[in-house]
């Protein structure tokens, strides 16, 4: 049961808030120094390190614990402002000169989250400013010439509603600006200031948003006939988180303020800033922003640019938490009822009076919240994976694998990492991997196909139908006789098919000096015709005639053309489609051998068949 008295943590927060309030009141009511020259013109106040936007605070407290159990964030901001303090004529409005033309302020900001609800931060600014020394009616102003500290900020933010990934979050904050700045350098007010704020924001998947309204309570100043003092501040922004891991954030933010003691255009400020931030290397973040002033209020620049680099651990993974008790469903023993953190996994996320702790649907004495088998009566066991489960799991086939995990519970088998095969007999051996078990494969070491004939089952086929199995056929695509030589068995005697030619092992013979084919070449022509019929994928082939170099080239060309035509006609006569064949005589122009010997000239007198085109190979089923 929870105690009704305040916890030590809440007492610490209460005392911290009281101390900050008393200190802020004392600083805020400190009287302004008479004839004080200058005041803090900085309008950009960086959000605490770890927040989502450049100048808008976020209402959450988040991060990974790394220092003494607290999430720590650190950021370096560089803020450049153009024309933040320009002297204008009271009636003409003419630019009389810039007291501060260029302003660069570096901020070192450190923030820490406590107990997931409180964020404290410290910001130390250093200002570098350049300008001129304009003069007005009875006034003379000095431009800052050296670097100066700004007013240090000490802040505390209290999350009232919501957590990091909730669509709506609410927080209240209070900051104290310590008078460490130099009023003559326009980097400090010369007195302390207190800035309470109310902050709202949220997270919608890829969209984040934040808004804030507050006041700055501090000393009153009159500078160049413009009063500065109690100021109302406001701001709003939204951004889209891009990328698969949502590491890039882009969006606008608008901020503004108005001095309540003298409401006019010169005491009203408004700025628009478009920023982009990118998370990298896990815990680091960098960003750039640029914007313009929307008003002419004192301290409002015509242009502003902001850069930042931060070490900022962030919650990157939102785990489901149905009961919103801060304990993810995966770790919550009672995920539907809010509870408390407990070291016992069986009670984590539960309350002592939670009915879920007492529910026991299988009546085995082990509550469902801790029962690994809540629907089956079992026994208590210190092992959470066995607690509430039967001690002797059923194993009908006696193979040592309990039925609940056995894919073949009635047939003894062996363990297997594949749940679909666990507890099943091992599959029959298939050495060649053709899908036919070795016990029924007539060719167990050669990939084959199924057959109703046991003597051929699992063996390669005979695609050319010459009665010789493909794995034993030297020419599986052309019919041929069985021989004792593995290199020629199953091949035609006179013909071979290569990639680009039908090779003739013996030449077609002609009567001397004529285009008449000799009777001895009939068998060669028969084989050529058979091969062309078997290779229907050969769409076009050229019958080529060649001669040696004896005689005139004109006569040899005519003779070779006649012999090529004779072979083409002989093949057409044997049933080959005329459209697949063409004939051409090349005479002596393409010798295959030197015409220096009788043997060379004899080999040059030849007929060749070249394959011109083939049909694309079809994928085998």
Q: What is the CATH number of the domain that holds 534?
A: 3.30.1330.60
Residues 173, 159: Cα–Cα separation, whole Å: 9
Give the structural domain span for 558.
492-614
CA atoms lying within 13 Å on the CB side of residue 258: 9
Tokens representing 314 are: 């962030």
Neighbours of 351 (CB within 10 A): 18
Residue recorded with tokens 């959000």 = 47
* Confidence at residue 322, expressed as pLDDT on a 0 to 100 scale: 74
Q: Which of 293, 240, 262, 378 is nearest to 103 (CA)?
A: 293
User: Is-contact 414 408, C-beta < 8 A?
Assistant: no
In a domain, 372, yes or no: no
Question: 457 or 356: whose pLDDT is higher?
Answer: 457
- Both tokens of 305, joined, read 């640019």
DSSP E strands: which ranges in 89-190? 95-114, 118-130, 135-136, 139-140, 148-149, 152-161, 169-178
**What's the pLDDT score for residue 317?**
52
CB burial of residue 289 (10 Å; 0-12, 13-18, 19+) = buried
Tell me, what's the pLDDT at 583? Answer: 93
For residue 387, tell me if it sits in a domain.
no
Looking at residue 390, what is its pLDDT? 76
3-state class of 307 per DSSP?
strand
Higher local confidence (pLDDT), 196 or 520: 196
Query: Among 261, 286, 311, where does a domain finish?
Result: 311
What is the distance between the alpha carbons of residues 81 and 98, in angstroms, rounded to a whole number?
Answer: 12
Give CA separation, 433 vs 447, 460, 462, in Å. 7, 13, 20
The confidence band for 27, taking pLDDT boundaries of 50, 70 and 90, is: very low
Flag whether pLDDT at 70 surpasses 90: no
For residue 47, pLDDT over 90 is answered with yes
- Where does residue 397 fall: left (phi above 0), alpha (psi -120 to 50 degrees), or beta otherwise? alpha
Pairwise CA distance, residues 135 & 158, whole Å = 46
Q: How far apart are CA 218 and CA 389, in angstroms?
A: 69
Total domains in the fold of the chain: 2
Indicate whether 381 belongs to any domain.
Answer: no
Give CA–CA dist 191/174, Å, rounded. Answer: 17
Q: List, in sequence order, every beta strand (DSSP E) within 529-592.
A: 538-546, 581-585
Does the residue 322 lie in any domain? no
Has residue 452 been placed in a domain?
Answer: no
> In CATH, what number is assigned to the domain containing residue 12?
2.40.160.40
The pTM (predicted TM-score) of the whole model is 0.48
Contact (Cβ atoms closer than 8 angstroms) between residue 563 and residue 545: yes
Nearest to 492 by CA among 472, 474, 510: 474
Residue 172's nearest CA partner among 152, 153, 200 is 200
> Domain boundary residue among 289, 311, 333?
311
Check: CB of residue 169 under 8 Å from CB of residue 156.
Answer: no
DSSP 304: E
What confidence score (pLDDT) does residue 365 get? 76
Cα torsion through 350, 351, 355, 356, rounded to 10? 10
Residue 316 located in a structural domain: no
Is residue 429 within 8 A of residue 443, CB to CB? The reply is no
Q: Is residue 137 included in any domain, yes or no?
A: yes
Lowest mean pLDDT segment, chosen from 213-217, 356-360, 550-554: 356-360
**Torsion sign, CA atoms 554, 557, 562, 565:** negative
Has residue 619 got a pLDDT over 60?
no
Q: What is the pLDDT of residue 377?
A: 84
Residue 370 falls within a domain, yes or no? Answer: no
* Tokens read off for 161: 């509603």
Q: Which residues of 578-590 are buried (b: 16+ CB within 10 A; e: fewer)?
A: eebbbbebbbbee
Spatial neighbors of 587 by CB under 8 A, at least 6 apart, are 545, 546, 547, 553, 556, 557, 559, 560
- Across the chain, mean pLDDT equals 81
For residues 512 and 550, what is the distance between their CA atoms, to the nearest angstrom?
13
Structure tokens at 51: 């927040």
Identify the pLDDT of residue 152.
95
pLDDT value of position 32: 34
Query: Nearest-CA neighbor of 610 among 521, 541, 533, 511?
Result: 541
Give the pLDDT of residue 195: 94
CA distances to 346, 360, 361, 371 from 364, in Å? 16, 7, 8, 9
Q: What is the pLDDT of residues 383-401, one digit of tens each?
A: 888 888 876 667 778 787 8
Q: Average of pLDDT values for 436-452? A: 78
Please report which confidence band the pLDDT of residue 318 belongs to, taking 50, 70 and 90 as the band edges. low
Alpha carbon distance 314, 330 (integer Å): 20
Per DSSP, 414 falls in state: B
Q: Which of 257, 281, 311 is at the close of a domain?
A: 311
- Per cent of the chain over pLDDT 70 is 85
CB atoms within 10 A of CB 141: 22
Pairing label, strands 538-546, 581-585: parallel
The rounded distance, in Å, linking the Cα atoms of 83 and 304 is 9
Residue 549 above 70 pLDDT? yes
Contact 476, 489 (CB under 8 A): no
How open is the CA angle 503-504-510, to the nearest 5 degrees?
140
Give the per-residue pLDDT at 26: 40
């Amino acid at each position: 049961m929870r105690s009704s008295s305040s916890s030590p943590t809440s007492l610490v927060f209460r005392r911290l808030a009281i101390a900050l309030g008393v200190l802020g009141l004392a600083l805020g009511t400190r009287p302004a120094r008479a004839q004080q020259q200058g005041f803090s013109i900085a309008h950009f106040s960086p959000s605490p390190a770890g927040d989502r936007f450049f100048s808008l605070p976020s209402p959450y407290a988040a991060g990974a614990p790394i220092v003494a159990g607290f999430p720590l964030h650190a950021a370096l901001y560089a803020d450049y402002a153009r024309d933040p303090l320009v002297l204008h004529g009271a009636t003409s409005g003419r630019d009389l000169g810039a007291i501060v033309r260029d302003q660069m302020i570096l901020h070192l900001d450190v923030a820490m989250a406590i107990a997931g609800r409180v964020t404290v931060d410290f910001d130390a600014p250093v200002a570098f400013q350049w300008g001129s020394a304009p003069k007005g009616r009875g006034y003379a102003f000095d431009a800052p010439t050296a670097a100066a500290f700004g007013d240090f900020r000490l802040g505390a933010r209290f999350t009232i509603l919501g957590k990091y990934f909730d669509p709506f979050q609410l927080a209240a904050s209070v900051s104290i600006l310590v008078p460490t700045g130099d009023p003559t350098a326009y980097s400090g007010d010369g007195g302390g200031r207190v800035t309470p704020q109310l902050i709202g924001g949220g997270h919608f998947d890829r969209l984040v948003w934040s808004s804030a309204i507050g006041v700055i309570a501090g000393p009153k100043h009159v500078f160049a006939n413009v009063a500065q003092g109690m100021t109302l501040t406001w701001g709003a922004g939204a951004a889209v988180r891009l990328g698969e891991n949502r590491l890039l954030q882009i969006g606008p933010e608008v901020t503004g303020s108005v001095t309540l003691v003298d409401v006019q255009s010169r005491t009203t400020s408004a700025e628009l800033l478009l920023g982009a931030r990118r998370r990298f290397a896990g815990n680091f973040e960098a960003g750039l922003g640029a914007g313009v002033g929307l008003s002419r209020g004192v301290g409002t620049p015509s242009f502003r640019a902001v850069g930042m680099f931060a070490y900022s651990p962030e919650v990157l993974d939102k785990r489901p938490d149905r009961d919103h008790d801060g304990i993810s469903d995966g770790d919550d023993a009672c995920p539907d009822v809010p509870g408390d953190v407990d070291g016992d996994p069986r009670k984590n996320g539960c309350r002592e009076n939670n009915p879920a702790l007492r529910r026991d649907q299988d009546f085995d004495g082990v509550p469902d919240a801790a029962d690994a088998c809540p629907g089956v009566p079992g026994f208590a066991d210190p092992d959470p994976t066995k607690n509430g489960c039967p001690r002797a799991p059923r194993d009908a086939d006696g193979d040592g694998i309990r039925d609940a995990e056995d894919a073949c519970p009635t047939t003894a088998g062996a363990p297997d990492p594949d749940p679909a095969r666990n507890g099943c007999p091992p599959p029959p051996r298939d050495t060649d991997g053709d899908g036919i078990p070795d016990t029924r494969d007539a060719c167990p070491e050669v990939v084959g196909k199924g057959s109703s004939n046991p003597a051929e089952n699992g063996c390669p086929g005979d695609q050319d139908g010459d009665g010789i199995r493909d794995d034993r056929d030297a020419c599986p695509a052309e019919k041929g006789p069985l021989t004792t030589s593995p290199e020629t068995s199953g091949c035609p005697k006179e013909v071979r098919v290569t990639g680009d030619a039908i090779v003739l092992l013996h030449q077609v013979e002609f009567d001397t000096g004529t285009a008449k084919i000799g009777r001895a070449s009939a068998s060669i022509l028969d084989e050529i015709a058979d091969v062309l019929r078997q290779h229907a994928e050969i769409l076009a082939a050229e019958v080529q005639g060649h001669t040696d170099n004896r005689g005139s080239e004109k006569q040899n060309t005519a003779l070779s053309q006649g012999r090529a035509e004779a072979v083409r006609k002989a093949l057409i006569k044997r049933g080959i489609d005329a459209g697949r064949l063409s004939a051409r005589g090349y005479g002596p122009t393409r010798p295959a051998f030197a015409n220096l010997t009788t043997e060379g000239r004899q080999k040059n007198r030849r007929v060749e068949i070249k394959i011109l085109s083939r049909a694309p190979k079809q994928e085998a089923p």
